[in-house]
Amino acid sequence: MAERFEIRLAGSGGQGLVLGGLIMSEAAAIFDGIYATQTQSYGPESRGGASKSEVVLSKEEVDYPKATNPDVVLLFTEAAAEKYLPMCKEDAIVIADADLVKTEIPDKYKKKVIVPLTKIAKEGVGREFVANIIAIGLIRELTGIVTEASLEKALMERVPKGTEEMNRKALALGKEAAHTYGKHVLDMKGK
Amino acid sequence: MAERFEIRLAGSGGQGLVLGGLIMSEAAAIFDGIYATQTQSYGPESRGGASKSEVVLSKEEVDYPKATNPDVVLLFTEAAAEKYLPMCKEDAIVIADADLVKTEIPDKYKKKVIVPLTKIAKEGVGREFVANIIAIGLIRELTGIVTEASLEKALMERVPKGTEEMNRKALALGKEAAHTYGKHVLDMKGK
């Protein structure tokens, strides 16, 4: 891992981005021994339902917990794409929901991953609201930033009883999606 | 409100501090039009179950989302008291769970509030896990940092269906506790 690794999850309230970020941080810190912070920032725009969750992972204590130059950016709504795409660095992994984001992600983003997260959730598990879990499974597979076992453990500690199987399946669908929609990123890994 | 108002909720995993902080931030930002951030930081100590949630409220966009000199500190376990009391400023509102914290809070903290949050939860609602909601009801009443209506609205949007009544009651118990255990703080308010 680099000294500092930043993830930004941007979308709307109800998409479970806070929970997604929380689970990633807990996987890193509690099970992988990495320092982690997870931050939500709310401004007047929150009234319109915008939601942003940021995760910073580091080998050392995280001094500044906001993402300043994210390595991974999830764009989960069109509004999120319009706001956050312009500030993405070119070598970031830019993940966009294929159905919810209309903005075209330019080809200069060589690690863009356009993936129908919400559709996969609906068709694969029958519940749109697990799209956030599919997203973190996808991010994990693309980055290797936390281990698969840690992410599953952290997930199991946060989800309501009775939903474990559904959530485990969502994680697996995210992993699968990384190979289907993000093979070019996996091929570039480490280069 | 001052330019920046910081709240630190420190205890252990399972006490619902992340949710408590989230609800306070959302009350402030979504319903009261204040900028808010909510941050969890995790380090190697998280393995032992320590949990810390911080809320920063501000009239302007929050640049640095960690609490640097909290105005309110909730100490929800003995370990949290040992770690965070030494760095409390003297005029902070220091809230300690009367049964879970053994460390004596020195009298120089004129705004200390020793309150049996967990016991109130158990006796008043029958569920220990709403102690976090009692805590935010208490903090709201002591500080007035968000409105009562906003906090209730934010709470209702975050709690599981079917638990609304229990959570509303927990909020009311927190308000009541502010008058029973924190009357001296209410008397000092604005001085």
Minimal C-alpha gap between A131 and chain B (Å):
19
Average pLDDT over all residues of chain B: 93
* Residue B62 touches chain A, beta carbons under 8 Å: yes
Minimal C-alpha gap between A35 and chain B (Å):
5
Strand-pair partners of B57: B5, B36
| Cα B23–Cα B26–Cα B30 angle in degrees, nearest 5 | 150
List of residues 6+ apart from B29 with CB closer than 8 A: A42, A43, A44, A46, B35, B36
Residue of B nearest to A62 (CA): B41
Amino acid B75: pLDDT? 98
Identify whether the C-beta of residue B12 lies closer than 8 Å to the C-beta of residue B51.
yes
The beta-carbon neighbor of B30 closest among A22, A47, A64 is A47
* Residue A177 touches chain B, beta carbons under 8 Å: no
Containing structural domain, residue B122: 4-188
CA dihedral B150, B152, B154, B160 (to 10 degrees): -170
Amino acid B160: pLDDT? 86
Span A110-162, pLDDT tens digits: 999 999 999 999 999 999 999 999 999 999 999 999 999 999 999 999 898 89
Give the residue carrying structure tokens 């008291």.
Answer: B81
Amino acid B191: pLDDT? 54
The beta-carbon neighbor of B61 closest among A18, A38, A43 is A43
Span B95-150, pLDDT tens digits: 999 999 999 999 999 999 999 999 999 999 999 999 999 999 999 999 999 999 99
The beta-carbon neighbor of B35 closest among A42, A62, A65 is A42
Average pLDDT over all residues of chain A: 93
Minimal C-alpha gap between B55 and chain A (Å):
10
Amino acid sitting at position B190? G
B45 membership: H or E segment, kind and range: none
Give the residue carrying structure tokens 């993936």.
Answer: A115
CB contact under 8 A, A46 and B30: yes
* Residue A60 touches chain B, beta carbons under 8 Å: no
* Residue A66 touches chain B, beta carbons under 8 Å: yes
CA distance B88 to A143: 39
Query: Which of residues A111 and A12 earns the better pLDDT score?
Result: A111
- Cβ atoms within 10 Å, residue B66: 21
DSSP string, chain A: --SEEEEEEEEETTS-HHHHHHHHHHIIIIIH--EEEEEEEE-GGGGGTEEEEEEEEESS--SS-S-SS-SEEEE-SHHHHHHHGGG--TTSEEEEETTT--SPPPTT-TTEEEE-HHHHHHHHTS-GGGHHHHHHHHHHHHH-SS-HHHHHHHHHHHSPTT-HHHHHHHHHHHHHHHHHH-HHHHHHTT-
Minimal C-alpha gap between B126 and chain A (Å):
20
- Phi, psi angle pair for B76, to nearest 5°: -105, -10
Quickly state the pLDDT bin for A190 (edges 50, 70, 90). low
Crossing angle of helices A148-158 and A17-26, in 10° steps, is 130
- Cβ atoms within 10 Å, residue A87: 12
**Angstrom distances, CA of residue A9 to CA of A19, A51, A85, A181, B187:** 11, 8, 12, 18, 43
Does residue A37 surpass a pLDDT of 60?
Answer: yes
- CATH code at position A70: 3.40.920.10
Amino acid A51: pLDDT? 86
* Residue A189 touches chain B, beta carbons under 8 Å: no
CA dihedral B167, B168, B170, B173 (to 10 degrees): 180
* Residue B143 touches chain A, beta carbons under 8 Å: no
DSSP string, B76-139: -SHHHHHHHGGG--TTSEEEEETTT--SPPPTT-TTEEEE-HHHHHHHHHS-GGGHHHHHHHHH
**Angstrom distances, CA of residue B129 to CA of A22, A47, B15, B122, B132:** 19, 29, 6, 8, 7
Quickly state the pLDDT bin for A84 (edges 50, 70, 90). very high
**Structural domains of chain A, count:** 1
Does residue B175 surpass a pLDDT of 90?
Answer: yes
Span B1-56, pLDDT tens digits: 668 999 999 999 888 999 999 999 999 988 888 899 999 988 766 766 788 899 99
Amino acid B30: pLDDT? 84
